Amino acid sequence: MLIVTGGAGFIGSHLVDRLIEDGKEVLVIDDFSTGKRKNLNNQAKLWCSGGGLQDYFRFPVKGPVETIFHLAAKARIQPSFEQPKETYDANSTNTVIALEMARHYKARLIYAGSSTADDDVFLNPYAYTKWLGEQHCKLYQKHYGVEGAIARFYNVYGPRQIEKGPFSTVIGIFERQWREGKPLTITGNGKQRRDFTYVDDIVSGLIAMSQENWNFIKFPLGSGKSYTINEVAAMFKAPTEYIPARPGEAQSTHATIRSTKRTLGWEPVHNLADYVAGVIQ
């Protein structure tokens, strides 16, 4: 049995699909705060945790559990300023709970970290809580023998990405605005750089990480190439509109993936320009 927390979300649902295709038995844990029921693979089992992972004492299966992929999180910067406690509970406390589950099942845990931890972790509550999750993993490895690895995601895009609301992604927003014939809204001057990674490449990296114990070392999962937001908007060949910069956002993210490629035998195979070209054709 494999467990995927956040398995009805954007990235989690793609991971579940791949695991099912590989013939695995999968349990999804999700409270549908951002995940969607339509994303669920009907061959996966579901444990709908109304109180989030914080009712973890109700261990959802008797076991054995091989790996827990912990993807559940409140995964955006701006909402974390408005809801710091909720962000802490979702991203830090729930990671401890996932580690408790791993300890209970003697399972490996793959933690979905964030590229925001590359920069100043005090830049925003989201970055800090995701970084804290990494520290919890290291603590559980040292004192309780829980094994696993930490993935750092870099601006994931692709089918099922969130396009509306506070948890939407920049590529999701641009796609929606392009479809609706609206100007693409660019925050600040648009010179901030981001490394964008296709969701299937992320899934391949997560699965590769789950094959061995890694003492919770970090694996950056990015494309290894960054674009300015202005450059991304230009790919859509649409009018643009500049809006005020937002607090707490890093000026640049760029994944250094040489060690990830060498250690995991993993290689990102998709690129953003081809994806956008397919969207607007």
Q: For the residues of 87-101, what is the DSSP string, one character each?
A: HHIIIIIHHHHHHHH
Q: How confident is the model at residue 167 (pLDDT cuts 50, 70, 90)?
A: confident
pLDDT tens-place string over residues 73-121: 998 899 999 999 999 999 999 999 999 999 999 999 999 999 998 989 9
pLDDT in tens, 181-202: 999 999 999 999 999 999 999 9
Write down the residue that tokens 């299966």 correspond to. 61
Helix (H) or strand (E) segment spanning residue 177? helix 170-179
User: Nearest-CA neighbor of 238 among 193, 280, 188?
Assistant: 280
pLDDT score recorded for residue 162: 94
DSSP states of 12-60? HHHHHHHHHHTT--EEEEE--SS--GGG--TTSEEEE-TTGGGGTTS-S
Average pLDDT of the chain is: 94
pLDDT, position 57: 53
pLDDT of residue 42: 95
Q: Is the pLDDT of residue 240 over 70?
A: yes
What lies within 8 Å, CB to CB, of 16 at 6+ separation is 4, 7, 26, 28, 40, 41, 44
CB neighbourhood size of 102 (10 A): 26
Specify the pLDDT at position 50.
62
Q: What angle do CA 40, 55, 153 make, to 5 degrees?
A: 50
Question: Which pLDDT score, from 0 to 100, does residue 49 have?
Answer: 65
Q: What is the pLDDT of residues 24-77, one digit of tens each?
A: 999 999 989 889 999 999 999 998 766 556 655 567 788 799 999 999 999 889
Q: Which tens digits make up the pLDDT trace of 209-229?
A: 999 999 999 999 999 999 999
Contacts for 85 with CB less than 8 Å, ≥ 6 apart: none
Provide the pLDDT for residue 160: 97
List, in order of start, the domains of the chain with CATH numbers: 2-156+198-223+255-269 (3.40.50.720)
Q: 9-13, 227-231, 245-249: lowest mean pLDDT where?
A: 245-249
List, in sequence order, every residue forming a beta bridge with 112; answer none if it has no partner: 151
